[in-house]
Amino acid sequence: MGAAQILQYLLSGVTTGSIYAIVGIGFTIIYNATGIINFAQGEFLMLGGMIAISLHGFLPLPQAIALAVVATGLCGVGVQLVFLSWLRRPDILRMIIITIGLSILIREAALHVWDEKVHALVYWTGDETSSLAVLGARISPQLLWVLGACALMVASLTLFFRYTLTGKAMRACASNATAARLCGIRLPWLVTLSFFLAAAMGALAGCVVSPMTQTQYDMGTSLAVKGFTCAVLGGLGSVGGAVAAGILVGVLESASISVLPLAFKDVVALTIMLAILLVRPQGLFAAIGRKTGPL
Amino acid sequence: MSRSAARNIPLLAFAALGACVPVALSALKADFYLTQLTMSAWYTMVALGLCLLMGYAGQVSMGHAGFFSIGGYTAAVIATAGMPSWLSVPAGVAAAALIAFLVGIPVLRLKGHYLAMATLAFGFIVSRIILGTPLLGQADGISDIPAYHLVAGLAISGRRALRVQNFYLAWAVVFVGLVAAMNLVRSRSGRALRAIRGDEDAAAASGIDVARHKLAVFVLSAVYAGLAGACIAHFNGGIGPGEAGIMKSVRYVALVAAGGMANLWGTLGVSAVLTFLSLRGAFGLYDDAVFGALLVGIMLFAPSGVFTLIRKRVLGR
């Protein structure tokens, strides 16, 4: 295998990996605010992509994407307000089942609004044949869009959590909800905001990746499982960890294609996840001494 | 009347109802319903097994369609590859049990979200392996599976002439599965399982071997699923990758949840009715959506199941 080919695998791995990372961060945001793993997280990517594809029928691309992101964010808010906000101290099993049920309802709704076919948004610049030469490897310009969008999201999220009052309030809730409430932080509003953020981020990821990997109504589940893998690998709750884990999973997955049949691509990522969960449940990149973990 | 006799009345009523159904249907000239009723019996077996695991022991599994397909595909491969024909169903059950054992040891150490996600991943892996393996027919599945001959002319087969026989056979297996599950629930082990659901640490502190009990009930529920998968492969004469889909796993969870979680009778009733309606195509294009809505609705408004809701609202107690 030549150096250019390795670079090719690496780049495509980093690209898919950064999408997994975004899904993982979506899990993280909602988990931090509520302690819930939202199994419908993958559906937000599908919704974002689908809405943008439909809107692009009569709107220019940037507006279509912006509207799709906002609309999906509002869907996330709607899900939270209608289904989850009024539950008092639900147990975990109940929340798991509700969010799984919601993911199915969103998926089935998408099946009926759109159809079972594979759709794709147009390339943001150029088309499927255009490519850039990077150190001998040929890559699609869309790949740069994916990396750029993911980097932008991660950077702005980090700034948001670190320097804004709202971001700090969300972190306070994650570390101790009761203490945060005693300090006058209004928890319900933050929970709604976390659903908006997670859904909107998912939608943007869904739009940026749609030209390359296509959008289909049932794409959510595998994305959710892989995104969760990254969230856990990165130590649930950490944005940087999720990114590192996402890139790791993406590269391993794209390397697996050169060894195994394409059909087993998903098996690789999920087997890694199972293995990691069992060996190192606190995550690969988890801060030492942090007390969140599955055991 | 003694308590044990009172307990047996529902079972007798269930048996009597089961015995009457084919007679009534043939009198009404509607015996074409028997095929779907037989299939719903096999699917109900999966739900009963999951009820033990999820309802009584509190361990969620989002991958039971995986065990169902492992049983079904193992039986299908053996039956179509010219190996001894009696082997297929036992091998299917054994394969499901073995894989549940191997997967269960590590996975059952996980709790809550992690367990749900890990079992979901397990189901996904099984379905991807089926789709990627030529031996398992990939997207086409395996067809032309011969009948499975039991003693004296009894056979699991979808042939018209054997329709009534297969109805009795399938529901007899469900009956045995139900009685076994009820006995388990009432036993010392059953109490241990409920203690584990309540609080694992407390259960361990009272001397219950938590890991062992969880693993045992996980394997048992996989046996129920594997048996159902193997039998339905013979009954339908074929099995496809759709049986391993995530949606199927979610469906079994929905049936148990709607039945009231730790409620074998509830699970049986909900599963028999809803699976039959779904197989008849009563929900049309909205088949999966119905089960999704059922999950959300039940968990939001009646987390203890439809029957408890009816008892509280309608009967006022």
Contact criterion met (CB below 8 Å) for A52 and A68: yes
Place of tokens 């801060």: A287
User: How far apart are the C-alpha atoms of B55 and B214, rounded to whole Å?
Assistant: 12
Nearest residue, CB atoms, B296 vs list A101, A112, A264: A101
pLDDT at A292 over 50: no
Q: Between A and B, how many residue pairs show a Cβ–Cβ distance under 8 A?
A: 120
DSSP-based three-state secondary structure for A157 = helix
* Chain B CB within 8 Å of residue A257 CB: no
User: How far apart are the C-alpha atoms of B52 and B261, rounded to whole Å?
Assistant: 9
Question: In this predicted structure, what is the pLDDT of residue A230?
Answer: 85
Condensed to tens digits (0 to 9), the pLDDT of residues A164-176 reads 998 888 888 888 8
User: How far apart are the C-alpha atoms of A183 and A176, rounded to whole Å?
Assistant: 11
pLDDT at B88 over 60: yes
ipTM confidence = 0.84
Is the CB of B296 less than 8 angstroms away from the CB of A98?
yes
- CA torsion sign for A201, A202, A207, A210 is positive
Chain A nearest-CA residue for B118: A274
Question: In this predicted structure, what is the pLDDT of residue A290?
Answer: 42
Residues within 8 A of B (CB atoms), A 183-222 only: 221-222
Rounded (10°) angle between helices B112-132 and A220-233: 130
Question: In this predicted structure, what is the pLDDT of residue A245?
Answer: 87
Output the average pLDDT for chain B: 89
Average pLDDT over residues A252-258: 82
What separation in angstroms does the CA of B21 have from each of A91, B24, B34, B55? 40, 5, 9, 29
pLDDT band at A282 (very low <50, low <70, confident <90, very high): low
Question: In this predicted structure, what is the pLDDT of residue A252?
Answer: 86
Q: List the domains of chain A with CATH numbers.
A: 3-279 (1.10.3470)
Nearest residue, CB atoms, B128 vs list A98, A108, A263: A263
Condensed to tens digits (0 to 9), the pLDDT of residues A46-86 reads 999 999 999 998 889 999 999 999 999 999 999 999 888 88
* Chain B CB within 8 Å of residue A225 CB: yes
Average pLDDT over residues B67-92: 91
Q: Which of B29-38, B45-54, B297-306 has the highest mean pLDDT?
A: B45-54
Average pLDDT over residues B195-202: 90
Question: In this predicted structure, what is the pLDDT of residue B25?
Answer: 84
Residue B3 Cα, gap to closest chain A Cα (Å) = 33
Q: Which of A130-144, B8-22, B94-108 has the highest mean pLDDT?
A: B94-108
Q: What does the block give as tokens for A170?
A: 């969300």
What separation in angstroms does the CA of A116 have from each of A113, A218, A219? 10, 8, 11
Is the CB of A94 less than 8 angstroms away from the CB of B246?
no
- CA torsion sign for B61, B213, B263, B230 is positive
Nearest residue, CB atoms, A108 vs list B106, B288, B294: B288
* Chain B CB within 8 Å of residue A82 CB: no
Condensed to tens digits (0 to 9), the pLDDT of residues B246-268 reads 889 989 999 999 888 889 999 99
Hey, of A27, A85, A88, A93, which one would you mutate to test binding to chain B, going by the most B CBs within 10 A of its CB?
A: A93
**Burial code of B25-50, b = ≥16 C-beta within 10 A, e = fewer?**
beeeeebebbbbbbbbbbbbbbbbbb
User: How far apart are the C-alpha atoms of B98 and B212, rounded to whole Å?
Assistant: 15
Question: In this predicted structure, what is the pLDDT of residue A46?
Answer: 94
Question: In this predicted structure, what is the pLDDT of residue A70?
Answer: 96
Hey, of B60, B99, B109, B125, which one would you mutate to test binding to chain A, going by the most A CBs within 10 A of its CB?
A: B125
pTM of the model: 0.89
Is the CB of A104 less than 8 angstroms away from the CB of B122?
no
pLDDT band at B92 (very low <50, low <70, confident <90, very high): very high
Place of tokens 């004469």: B237
Is the CB of B117 less than 8 angstroms away from the CB of A225?
yes
Condensed to tens digits (0 to 9), the pLDDT of residues A160-212 reads 988 999 888 888 888 888 888 888 888 888 889 999 999 999 999 999 988 88
Question: In this predicted structure, what is the pLDDT of residue B209?
Answer: 92
Residues of A in contact with B110 (CB under 8 A): 277-278, 281, 294-295
Condensed to tens digits (0 to 9), the pLDDT of residues B159-190 reads 777 888 889 999 999 999 999 999 999 999 99
Q: What percent of chain A has pLDDT over 70?
A: 94
What number of residues does chain B have? 317
Question: In this predicted structure, what is the pLDDT of residue B3?
Answer: 66
